[in-house]
């Protein structure tokens, strides 16, 4: 790291990272901070080490509003009804507020894409989501809030048009970044043992 910042211990960062969907309007994110996050992101693995990741860092209010519109549109076109049936009320309300305004109100949006001149269609996801995760963890390590959102990529053509992506670059995620509007609680996760099998599926850990 060119400029090693103070950060909590590794495992504290990993188990504390969680989604933030409401940001402090009065606190911007410095370029120097974004540089550290992007350096972390680009240290993720990728198929054949081809590093197909593309990051477009948006601060412009109009562009952020456009991404917000696309997010709200995808949400209202169907995702909201799917989620309403699937989610507990508290989480639904939080996600609903994020999708209809909270996320695009973050001072910075990072659109993460994959350059398909550098990877196969089959390796787009495995060569970009690990980089997104490094970005989220690094953000948390520096006290920033963030979230992994894919809703705006439902309208990939419109999203690409809003930020001038060439046809060879596929958007895979949008990460809002900013300081949290309020303290975030710990992530809610099921114990790993319920998801883990020994030797064969169905044999308990």
Exposed/middle/buried for residue 79 (C-beta within 10 Å: 0-12, 13-18, 19+): middle
Among 165, 170, 174, 177, binds a second copy (CB under 8 A): 165
Q: Which one, 72 or 171, has the nearer CB to a second copy? A: 171
Q: Scanning residues 25 to 64, which ones bind a second copy (CB under 8 A)?
A: 35-36, 38-45, 47-51, 53-60, 63
Strand partners, 170: 114
Of 22-30, 98-106, 115-123, 176-184, which segment contacts a second copy by CB under 8 A?
115-123
- Per the listing, tokens 């519109």 go with 69
Query: Which residues, including other chains, have CB under 8 Å from residue 19's CB and lie 6 or more apart?
Result: 98, 146, 147, 148
Of 22-30, 96-104, 133-141, 176-184, which segment contacts a second copy by CB under 8 A?
133-141
Q: How far is the CB of 23 from a second copy (least distance, A)?
A: 17
Task: Please answer whether residues 175 and 135 qualify as being in contact, where contact means their C-beta atoms are separated by less than 8 angstroms.
Answer: yes
What are the phi and psi torsion angles at 196 (to 5°)? Answer: -115, 140
Is residue 188 within the footprint of a second copy (CB under 8 A)? yes
Is residue 83 within the footprint of a second copy (CB under 8 A)? yes
């Amino acid at each position: 790291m060119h400029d090693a910042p103070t950060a909590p211990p590794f495992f504290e960062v990993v188990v504390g990272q969680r989604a933030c969907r409401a940001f402090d309007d009065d606190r911007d994110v410095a370029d120097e901070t974004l540089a550290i996050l992007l350096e972390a992101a680009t240290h993720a693995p990728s198929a054949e080490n081809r590093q197909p990741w593309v990051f477009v860092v948006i601060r412009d209010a109009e562009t952020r509003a456009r991404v917000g519109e696309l997010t709200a549109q995808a949400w209202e076109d169907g995702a909201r009804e799917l989620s309403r049936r699937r989610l507990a009320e508290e989480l639904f309300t939080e996600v609903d507020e994020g999708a209809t305004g909270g996320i695009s109100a973050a001072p910075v949006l990072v659109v993460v894409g994959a350059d398909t001149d550098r990877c196969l269609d089959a390796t787009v996801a495995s060569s970009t989501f690990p980089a997104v995760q490094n970005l989220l963890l690094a953000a948390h390590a520096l006290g920033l809030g963030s979230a992994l959102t894919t809703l705006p990529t439902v309208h990939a053509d419109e999203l690409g048009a809003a930020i001038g992506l060439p046809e060879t670059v596929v958007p895979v995620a949008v990460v809002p970044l900013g300081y949290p509007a309020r303290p975030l609680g710990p992530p809610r996760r099921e114990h790993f043992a319920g998801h883990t099998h020994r030797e064969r599926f169905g044999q308990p850990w």
